[in-house]
Amino acid sequence: MRTVRSQAPEPMIATGSIPRFHHTRVGLGADLQPIPVMRAMVLERVGSPLNARDLPIPTPGPGEVQIEIDACAVCRTDLHIIDGDLIGPKLPLVLGHQIAGRISSLGAEVAAFATGDRVGVPWLGWTCGVCRYCTAGRENLCRSARFTGYHHDGGFAEVCVADARYVFRLPAGYGPVQAAPLLCGALIGYRAFRLAGAAHRLGIYGFGSAGHMIAQVARHFGRETYAFTRPGDHRGQAFARELGAVWAGSSEQRPPVELDAAILFAPVGALVPLALAAVAPGGAVICAGIHMTDIPSFPYRLLWEERTISSIANLTRRDGDDLLALAGPAGLHPMVRTYALADANTALDDLRAGQFEGTAVLIPRIP
């Protein structure tokens, strides 16, 4: 494993010749026939480590594309699925929803892409397209939505398939390792950032994958950022200051000024009243995670004076298009630590323990 900034050369990634072959019998009494397989890290039971498995290479159906995966970032949502905080995942399941790769095959009715195109796959993987949310451009709220690496197999593998409607072209200037974190951490963070409106003094609670990227976006727009980390995380606080935070401290501390808004990336409900206490009248507290521990009761005076609490749910395609177009001009440089696909459990353990700054990224094929 190693940590790199986005301007550093990316690790070499092997290309082509992915398939290995298992032999299986096709039909009663038939000869052994080769079936191409890929390596994947599979969740077979909630609460258990991932297991390395050879799986049949998925083929795209109508409206889908097959993607040869070059990198897949690791997200705290992956931990929530493993831990059972998010109920009802497909099992067995290939996790991973920040996928960067190249289209290797097209399903029927796909006209927007060609083989070889560099693309990314985010968390939101399918919507119905006809409900009142979908038809209003709010597909992130579709009640029938399906999610990558949760309802269908994701990117902790060598190949995946994805609905072509929810595939983004990757921006020029970003290799797959640096592009992968944009597809959830930056994307969800950007949706939260937009909900904060014109807030000049912005608090960021939880300075991990999403936090460190949105701090850079905020700096691009001339905002002041105030970073809150776990108590005693002096390394994380120093990292925040390196990225332009005007103040960094413990989540238990009050910032030196009143904030206009606060974004909570840390999935800790107890932070909500602390953030409310830190924002000025009329300020907003935005909960940006998909899961959070219970929010404790708090006195109404913390909410009074037109403070608000809101949440972020998933993403829209507009969010993705806008963030990926902004990344280059904003100078958005994810800090990444790379791991081989086979080391996915180590990456997840390191994420849980806070062993690195930025984002963990799995690389399926390293020569």
- The mean pLDDT values, 10 residues at a time, for the chain of 367 residues are 46 54 48 83 98 97 98 97 96 98 97 97 98 97 98 98 98 97 96 96 96 97 97 94 96 96 97 98 96 96 97 95 97 97 98 95 84
DSSP string, 237-276: HHHHHHTT-SEEEETTSPPSS-EEEEEE-S--TTHHHHHH
345 half-sphere exposure, CB direction, 13 A CA radius: 10
Q: How many residues does the chain have?
A: 367
Q: How far is the C-alpha of 23 from the C-alpha of 110, rounded, in Å? A: 31
The reported pLDDT for the residue numbered 34 is: 78
Q: Report residue 116 as tokens.
A: 């070889």
For residues 65 and 121, the answer to whether their CB atoms sit within 8 Å is no
- Quote the pLDDT of residue 2: 44
Structure tokens at 186: 């930056």
Which of these, 85, 68, 49, 67, lies nearest to 347 by C-alpha position? 49
Report the distance separating Cα 339 and Cα 275, nearest Å.
34
d(CA 191, CA 315): 7
For residue 81, the surrounding DSSP H or E stretch is helix 76-83
Using alpha carbons, select from 313, 264, 314, 315 the residue that is nearest to residue 293.
264
Pull the structure tokens for residue 131: 């409900």
State residue 25's pLDDT score: 45
Geometric angle at alpha carbon 155, from 150 and 161, rounded to 5°: 85
Q: What is the pLDDT of residue 1?
A: 46
Spatial contact of 103 and 161, defined as CB atoms under 8 Å apart: no
92 preceded by a cis bond (ω within 30 of 0): yes
**pTM, to two decimals:** 0.91
Q: Which domains does the chain have, with CATH numbers?
A: 2-183+335-363 (3.90.180.10), 187-311 (3.40.50.720)
pLDDT attached to residue 6: 42
